[in-house]
Amino acid sequence: MSRFLIINADDFGCCKEQNEAIKELWENNLITSVSVLAVAPEFEDAANWLKSKGLSAGVHLTLNSDEALNPWRSITGAKSLGKNGNLYSNSKDITFHARRREVSREIAAQYNAIKNAGIKVDHADSHSGTLYGLNLRRFYIDAFRFCGENGLPYRFPKRADFIERMLGRKPPAALYKFHSHLVNLAKKNGVCLIDDMLSNPWSIDKIKDKDSILEYYLNAVKGIGEGITEIFLHPAKPKSEEKTPWTKRVYEYEILKSGALLEAAKKNGIEIISWADVREINNYRRTE
C-alpha cells in the first residue's frame, strides 16, 4: 500500500499574522490544505482569498475562543456556548455548559458560513479537540453525524498510534477502546477518515528552539505508515520578539517555509496530497 501525506495549516482566519503566513506558504506550494476558523476576526479576509484562488478548505469546527480579552463570537449566539454571544475561552466551561443541540447548530452554522462565502468545504476538523470526546461530552456523535450528512471527511485517525504520541506516555486501555468506538461510529455514519495524524504536542516551555521541533517533524515524516497521514501545523508570522506561546507558531511557519518536510517526504517515497484527494483515494483503496 502507498503512503500519502497531507500538510495542513490550521487556524486560517485567526488573525493577520496567521493569514499572511498561510497565504505565503500556499503561494509557494509549501502546504497542501488549510482549515478555516469561521468564527475568528480575519475569517472574511481568509474567505475572500480562498475564493479568489478557487481553493477548497476545511471547516475548523470551533467551540472555544483562543482569545479571552477579545473572545471570538459564535455564529448562532447560543447561550450555552458563551456569554453575550461570545465563545468560552476556558474549555472547562464548554464541558459544563454547552448543550448538544446548540453545539450541532453551531457546527452547521460554521460550515454554512464557509460554504456561503463561495468556498467548497473539503473536510472538517476540530479546533482544540473539543469534538473528540476527551472532555467527557458526546459532541463527537454530533460531529460524525454532521459529517456523514454532508459528505465531509473528518480529521480522526483509524490507527491509535497518535494517542501515545500526543500524550507522551502509554495511554490506559480504556482510551484505546474509546478510539475504536469512535472509528466504528464514523463507519456507521459513512464518514471517511484518515489513517493517522501528526502534530507536535509540546508547549513552548518544553521547546528549546526551532531545530528541536524540526527534528520532531522530520522523524515523524520518516516514520509515516501506510495509508493517509495528515500533519497539521499552525503557522504564523511573529507578533513580537519575545518568546511566548505564539513563538511555536512562528517556528512552524519557518519550518514549513524551509520546505524541509516536503523534501523529507520525497526522500522517503511519500506522495503529497490534499484533503480534496482523501475521498477518492479511500474509494480506490476499497476496490483494490
CA pair distance 240, 142, nearest whole angstrom: 39
What are the strands, taking DSSP E only, across the chain?
Answer: 3-12, 33-36, 57-61, 121-126, 154-157, 193-194, 196-198, 227-233, 271-273
Task: Copy the grid coordinates of residue 229.
Answer: 497521514
Instruction: Give the pairing of strands 57-61 and 121-126.
Output: parallel
pLDDT at position 284:
59
- Show me where the domains of the chain are located: 3-287
**Residue 270 main-chain phi, psi, to 5 deg:** -100, 130
209: phi > 0 → left, psi -120 to 50 → alpha, else beta; which?
Answer: beta
For residues 210 and 260, the answer to whether their CB atoms sit within 8 Å is: no
**pTM of the predicted model over 0.85:** yes
pLDDT at position 38:
99
Please give the distance of CA 257 from its chain centroid, rounded to a whole number: 19
Mark the ranges of the chain whose per-residue pLDDT is less than 50.
287-288
Fold of 3-287: TIM Barrel (3.20.20)
The per-residue pLDDT for range 171-221, each reduced to its tens digit, is 899 999 999 999 999 999 999 999 999 999 999 999 999 999 999 999 999
